C-alpha cells in the first residue's frame, strides 16, 4: 500500500537526520587523520568567452566537467549574450541532437534530445533542483547559464527521461552595486525593455538581484503578435559563516496567438501485405511562406508560471555539509490548438481542427542531503546521501475538437450542432475561420492527475590519487500515480531500486585528459497522451530505461574543452499509433557518437561546436498483425505492420552546430563579430515512417560593440538569424509538423549604469 505524503516526509526526515549525525560523527572522528580533506567550494560566476569548468547538475554539483562520466554541455552567459538568445529554442539549437517536437516554436519550446522527448514536467530544473513546468517560453534574461546533461539522471532526479535534464542557473547577487538597462527589438517591431540590478547590504550579509522584462512579441508571422513579461529576484543571506541561504523567485507571463501547425490524420494510404509501409507526401516546404499563418488571431495561447525555490546549506565542518532545498512551480494556461490537414497541395485547400484546452500544473519539491569527504585505506571518498520528494499535480481539461472541413471557396465549421459556413480553409492564401461563435458554451472534460515520486539515494566518488575515480550509487524509489478524486483512483505504483556506476581514469594524473565509462539505470514517467490523441491526457505505466556510455575529455589547452563519446540507450517506446491512441509498445535503441569543442582558442577567438551521429531504431514491439502466422481475429481485424526495425519518430541520423565569436580589439576596441551554422538531418514524422521532414542548414551572423565613450558604458548588438531565409520544418512527431520561423534581424542597446 502506498505511503501517505505525511508518512513519507516523517520517515525520510528521520532517516536523513540519522545519516547526517552518523556521517558528521565519522567526519569528526577522522579529523586528525584527514584534516587536510575539505569539500571543494565552487561558486559559479560569469566566465570569459565560451569556456566553462564546473557543473551544477545532480550528483555532479560542483564537479569539474572533465571529471564527470556523462555528456554535460554548459552554455555560458557570454554565449547567450553573443547570440541574443531569449528562449530555450534559441539556446538549444547549439546542442547537437536537440530539436523541437510536435508543436511550433513561437509560444513554447517542446524539445527532444538524442531522439527522446524531454519530460516537460520533470526534465527542466532551476538551480539544479526545482523541476519547473516547461510549457511556457522560458525567459533567459535572468539566467546566468544553461546546462544540458544528456542521458539518464534518475539517481538524483527520480523518474526522469533518458533524454536528459536541462538546468538553468539564476543570476546571483553581486558584491558591487549593479544596474543594467536594455532596449531591444527586431526588424518586425517587437520592442521591449529589460532591467537587471542588484547589490549587497548589511555588511555583505544580504544580497539581492532583480530582473524585469516587458516586451511585445513579433516573430514576423501573420497575426501572431503577443506580449511577454518577467519579474524575478535572487536573494542570498549569510546569517553566520557556516550557513548560506538562497531564495529564487520568478513570475513569467505570455499571451500570443499560436500559429497553426500541419497534421496528417485522414486520407492516408492503407498498409497492405504487398505494400506494408506506404508513404505520403508533405507540402513542399520550399513553396511555403514562413510568414504566413493559417491560424486565426483568436487561437490564443495564454500562460503564466511562478517558480519559487529555497536553497540552504549548513557547513557542519570543513569536510561535511547539509543541504535542504524546497521549491514550488505553478503553471496555468488556456490554449486554442489549431491544426490543418492539407487536401490539395496545389490550391492549399484542407480542413482545420480546433481544440480548446485549460491546464493547471504544480510541482512541489523537497530535498535533504548530507555530503562530505573522508578517507579509508588511502582512498578519498566524496559521498552524499539524501532524500528527495516530488509531488506533481496536473489538471488538463479539453473540449471536443471543432472541425472546419471544406474546399477552396466554401468551408463549413461544425462542433456539435453549431455551424458556420462561407469561409475558405487554405494554408497558402488563408481566410481566417470566425470560430469564436463555436466556443460557447464550452464543455471542458478531464480528470486530475497526481504523481508522487520519492526516493532515498546514496552516492560515492572514490578517488585513488589523481588517477582513478570510481563513482557508484543507488536509489530506492517510491512512485505513485493516482487520480486525487473522491474516491482516490490508484493508477500505478512502483518501488524500484536503480543503480548508477561509472569510472573516470586520468592517465597522466592531471586535468588535461580523462577517459570514462558509465552505466545508468532509470525509470521515467510515460507522461500524458498528447492533446491530439483520442486518449488525450491518459497516463501510461512508468517506463524502464538503461544507458551505457564511454568517452574521453581533454582540456590540454586551458579553457578549451574537447569531448568525444559513444552512447547506447534502451528505453520502452511510446507513440501515437495508427488508430490515434497514445500507447506503449516494445523497446527502442538509441546509439551514436558525439563530439564537442567549447571555450577560448585564443584570447580573441571563442568557439562552441558539437556534432552527433545517431541511430535510433525500434528493436522490439508488437508483431505484424493480420497475416500468417498472425491471422485476422477479433482483436486483429485489420492488417497492421510492426514498427520493429523502423526509425524512431523525430530522430535524425546527423546533427551539427558551430558558433564562433572573434574580438577585433586590435582594430577597433570593443568590436566583436560572430556567426553560427546549424544542421539537422531528415526525421520521420511518425513511428511507421510514412513521411520524412527534409534536412536543413541555417546560418546566423552578428556583431557587438562595447564603448565607454558615453556617460555610461554601453553595448550595441545586432544579429541576423537564418540569414538566407531557409525554409524548413522546425518540429515534427506524431504526424504533426510545423514550419520554422522566418529570417529575423534582432538588435539591442544595453547601458551599464
* Residues 679-727 pLDDT 10s: 999 999 988 899 999 999 999 999 999 999 888 999 999 999 999 999 9
Asked whether residue 18 carries a pLDDT value surpassing 50, the answer given is no
- 190-194, 341-345, 398-402, 665-669: least confidently modelled range: 398-402
Highest averaged pLDDT of the listed ranges 196-210, 346-360, 435-449: 196-210
Tell whether the model's pLDDT for residue 30 goes beyond 50.
no
Angle at 729 between CA 104 and CA 137, to 5 degrees: 25
616 class by beta-carbon count within 10 Å (0-12 exposed, 13-18 middle, 19+ buried): buried
How do beta strands 124-126 and 164-170 pair? parallel
Q: Once rounded to an integer, what is the mean pLDDT over residues 379-398? A: 92
Tell me what the mean pLDDT of segment 325-346 comes to.
91
CA 444 – CA 436 distance, rounded (Å):
16
How is residue 3 written as a grid cell? Answer: 505511503
Evaluate if residue 51 carries a pLDDT over 50.
yes
Q: Is the peptide bond before 629 cis (omega within 30 degrees of 0)?
A: yes
**Is 592 within 8 Å of 648 (Cβ atoms)?**
no
- CB 271: neighbour CB atoms within 10 A? 19
C-alpha cell at 361: 500544473
C-alpha distances out from residue 13 to 19, 84, 599, Å: 10, 44, 42
Give the pLDDT band (50/70/90) at residue 152.
Answer: confident
pLDDT, greater one: 187 or 296: 187
Please provide the average confidence, as pLDDT, over all residues in the chain.
85
Confidence of residue 14 (pLDDT cuts 50, 70, 90): very low
Q: What angle do CA 64, 66, 69 make, to 5 degrees?
A: 100
| b/e burial code for range 118-130 (CB count within 10 A of at least 16 → b) | bbbbbbbbbbbbb
Banded pLDDT at 12 (limits 50, 70, 90): very low
Instruction: Decide if pLDDT at 480 tops 80.
Output: yes
Give residue 638's pLDDT.
73
Instruction: Write down the pLDDT at residue 212.
Output: 98
Q: Strand locations in 399-512, DSSP E? A: 402-406, 411-415, 418-421, 448-464, 468-483, 489-494, 497-505
What phi and psi, each to the nearest 5 degrees, are found at residue 9? Answer: -60, -45
Q: How many CA atoms lie within 13 A of 290 on its CB side?
A: 22
pLDDT for 671: 97
Tell whether the model's pLDDT for residue 140 goes beyond 60: yes
Q: Is 174 helix (H, G, I), strand (E, B) or coil?
A: coil
pLDDT at 471 over 50: yes
Calpha distance 159→152 (Å, rounded): 9
- As a whole-number percent, the residues of the chain with pLDDT over 70 amount to 84
Does position 579 have pLDDT exceeding 70, yes or no? no
Instruction: Give the pLDDT of residue 271.
Output: 86
What's the mean pLDDT in 294-302? 89
Residue 564 C-alpha cell reads as 568525444
Section 363-379 average pLDDT: 95
pLDDT at 151: 83
Q: 581 vs 456, which has greater pLDDT? A: 456
Is residue 420's pLDDT more than 60? no
pLDDT beyond 50 at 5: no
Residue 370 vs residue 268, higher pLDDT? 370
**Cβ atoms of 402 and 435 closer than 8 Å:** yes
Q: State residue 667's pLDDT score.
A: 93
CATH number of 5-35+60-752: 2.40.170.20
1 has a pLDDT exceeding 50 = no
Distance CA 146, CA 80 (A): 9
pLDDT at position 405 over 70: no
pLDDT at 609 over 80: yes
For residues 360 and 537, the answer to whether their CB atoms sit within 8 Å is: no
Would you state the torsion angle of the CA atoms of residues 520, 523, 528, 530, taken in this order, to the nearest 10 degrees?
Answer: 30
Q: Residue 383, CB half-sphere, CA atoms under 13 Å: how many?
A: 17
C-alpha cell at 712: 555610461
Extents of the domains making up the chain: 5-35+60-752
Question: For residues 149 and 168, is the Cβ–Cβ distance under 8 A?
Answer: no
C-alpha span between 381 and 463 (Å, rounded): 6
- CA distances to 2, 482, 483, 493 from 487, rounded to whole Å, are 15, 11, 9, 17
Q: Is the pLDDT of residue 434 over 70?
A: no
pLDDT of amino acid 506: 94
Q: What are phi and psi of 604, to 5 degrees?
A: -100, -25
In a 3-state reduction of DSSP, which class is residue 286?
A: helix
Rounded Cα distance, 343 and 725, in Å: 27
User: H or E segment at 99?
Assistant: strand 98-100
Confidence of residue 121 (pLDDT cuts 50, 70, 90): confident
Q: Is there a contact between 643 and 621 (Cβ–Cβ < 8 Å)?
A: yes
Count Cβ atoms below 10 Å from residue 390 Cβ, excluding itself: 22
Q: Are 193 and 181 in contact (CB under 8 A)?
A: yes
Per-residue model confidence (pLDDT) at position 456:
95
Is 70 exceeded by the pLDDT of residue 80? Answer: yes
Closest CA to 515 of 460, 467, 452: 467
Is the four-CA dihedral 75, 78, 80, 83 of positive or negative sign?
negative
Q: Are the C-beta atoms of residues 678 and 657 closer than 8 Å to each other?
A: yes
From CA 8, how far away is CA 392, in angstroms rounded?
15
Amino acid at each position: 500500500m502506498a505511503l501517505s505524503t505525511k508518512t513519507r516526509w516523517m520517515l525520510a526526515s528521520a532517516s536523513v537526520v540519522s545519516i547526517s549525525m552518523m556521517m558528521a560523527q565519522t567526519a569528526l572522528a577522522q579529523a586528525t587523520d584527514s584534516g587536510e580533506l575539505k569539500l571543494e567550494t565552487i561558486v559559479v560566476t560569469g566566465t570569459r568567452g565560451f569556456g566553462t569548468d564546473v557543473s551544477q547538475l545532480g550528483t555532479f554539483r560542483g564537479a569539474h566537467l572533465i571529471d564527470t562520466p556523462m555528456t554535460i554541455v554548459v552554455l555560458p552567459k557570454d554565449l547567450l549574450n553573443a547570440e541574443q538568445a531569449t528562449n530555450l529554442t534559441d539556446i538549444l539549437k547549439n546542442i547537437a541532437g536537440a530539436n523541437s517536437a510536435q508543436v511550433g516554436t513561437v509560444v513554447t519550446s517542446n524539445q527532444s534530445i538524442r531522439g527522446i522527448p524531454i519530460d516537460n514536467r520533470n526534465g527542466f530544473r532551476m538551480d539544479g533542483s526545482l523541476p519547473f513546468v516547461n510549457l511556457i517560453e522560458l525567459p533567459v534574461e535572468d539566467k546566468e547559464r544553461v546546462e544540458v546533461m544528456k542521458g539518464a539522471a534518475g539517481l538524483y532526479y527520480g523518474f526522469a527521461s533518458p533524454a536528459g535534464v536541462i538546468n538553468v542557473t539564476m543570476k546571483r547577487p553581486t558584491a558591487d552595486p549593479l544596474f543594467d538597462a536594455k532596449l531591444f527589438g527586431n526588424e518586425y517591431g517587437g520592442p521591449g525593455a529589460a532591467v537587471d540590478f542588484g547589490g549587497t547590504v548589511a555588511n555583505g550579509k544580504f544580497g539581492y538581484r532583480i530582473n524585469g522584462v516587458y516586451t511585445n512579441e513579433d516573430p514576423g508571422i501573420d497575426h501572431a503578435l503577443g506580449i511577454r513579461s518577467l519579474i524575478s529576484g535572487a536573494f542570498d543571506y549569510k546569517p553566520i559563516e557556516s550557513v548560506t541561504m538562497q531564495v529564487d523567485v520568478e513570475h513569467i507571463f505570455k499571451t500570443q496567438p499560436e500559429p497553426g501547425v500541419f497534421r496528417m490524420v485522414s486520407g492516408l494510404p492503407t498498409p497492405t501485405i504487398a505494400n506494408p509501409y506506404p508513404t505520403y507526401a508533405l507540402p513542399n516546404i520550399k513553396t511555403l511562406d514562413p510568414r504566413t499563418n493559417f491560424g486565426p488571431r483568436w487561437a490564443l495561447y495564454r500562460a503564466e508560471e511562478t517558480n519559487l525555490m529555497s536553497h540552504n546549506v549548513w557547513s557542519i565542518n570543513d569536510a561535511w555539509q547539509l543541504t535542504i532545498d524546497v521549491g514550488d512551480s505553478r503553471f496555468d494556461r488556456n490554449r486554442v490548438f489549431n491544426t490543418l490537414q492539407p487536401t490539395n497541395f496545389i490550391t492549399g485547400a484542407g480542413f482545420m481542427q480546433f481544440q480548446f484546452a485549460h491546464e493547471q500544473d504544480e510541482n512541489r519539491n523537497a530535498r535533504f542531503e548530507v555530503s562530505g569527504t573522508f578517507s579509508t585505506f588511502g582512498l578519498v571518498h566524496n559521498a552524499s546521501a539524501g532524500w528527495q520528494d516530488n509531488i506533481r499535480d496536473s489538471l488538463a481539461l479539453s473540449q471536443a475538437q471543432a472541425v472546419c472541413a471544406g474546399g477552396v471557396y466554401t468551408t463549413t465549421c461544425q462542433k456539435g450542432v453549431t455551424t458556420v459556413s462561407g469561409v475558405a480553409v487554405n494554408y497558402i492564401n488563408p481566410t481566417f475561420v470566425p470560430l469564436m461563435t463555436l466556443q460557447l458554451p464550452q464543455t471542458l472534460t478531464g480528470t486530475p492527475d497526481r504523481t508522487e515520486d520519492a526516493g532515498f539515494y546514496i552516492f560515492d566518488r572514490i578517488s585513488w590519487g589523481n588517477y582513478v575515480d570510481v563513482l557508484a550509487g543507488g536509489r530506492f524509489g517510491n512512485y505513485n500515480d493516482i487520480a486525487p478524486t473522491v474516491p482516490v483512483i490508484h493508477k500505478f505504483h512502483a518501488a524500484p531500486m536503480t543503480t548508477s556506476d561509472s569510472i573516470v581514469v586520468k592517465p597522466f594524473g592531471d586535468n588535461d585528459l580523462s577517459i570514462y565509462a558509465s552505466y545508468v539505470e532509470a525509470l521515467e514517467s510515460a507522461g500524458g497522451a498528447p492533446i491530439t490523441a483520442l486518449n488525450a491526457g491518459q497516463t501510461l505505466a512508468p517506463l524502464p530505461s538503461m544507458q551505457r556510455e564511454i568517452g574521453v575529455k581533454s582540456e590540454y589547452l586551458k579553457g578549451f574543452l574537447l569531448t568525444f563519446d559513444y552512447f547506447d540507450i534502451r528505453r520502452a517506446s511510446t507513440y501515437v499509433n495508427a488508430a490515434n491512441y497514445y500507447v506503449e509498445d516494445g523497446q527502442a535503441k538509441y546509439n551514436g557518437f558525439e563530439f564537442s569543442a567549447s571555450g577560448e582558442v585564443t584570447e580573441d577567438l571563442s568557439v562552441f561546436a558539437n556534432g552527433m551521429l545517431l541511430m535510433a531504431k525500434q528493436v522490439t514491439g508488437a508483431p505484424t498483425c493480420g497475416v500468417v502466422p498472425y491471422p485476422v481475429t477479433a482483436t486483429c481485424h485489420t492488417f497492421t505492420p510492426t514498427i520493429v526495425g523502423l526509425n524512431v519518430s523525430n530522430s535524425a541520423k546527423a546533427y551539427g552546430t558551430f558558433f564562433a565569436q572573434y574580438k577585433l580589439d586590435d582594430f577597433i576596441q570593443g568590436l566583436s563579430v560572430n556567426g553560427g551554422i546549424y544542421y539537422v538531418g531528415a526525421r520521420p514524422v511518425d513511428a511507421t515512417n510514412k513521411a520524412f521532414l527534409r534536412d536543413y542548414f541555417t546560418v546566423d551572423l552578428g556583431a557587438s560593440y562595447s564603448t565607454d565613450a558615453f556617460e555610461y558604458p554601453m553595448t550595441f548588438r545586432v544579429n541576423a538569424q537564418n540569414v538566407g531565409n531557409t525554409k524548413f520544418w522546425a518540429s515534427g512527431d506524431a504526424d504533426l509538423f510545423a514550419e520554422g520561423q522566418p529570417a529575423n534581424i534582432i538588435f539591442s542597446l544595453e547601458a551599464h549604469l
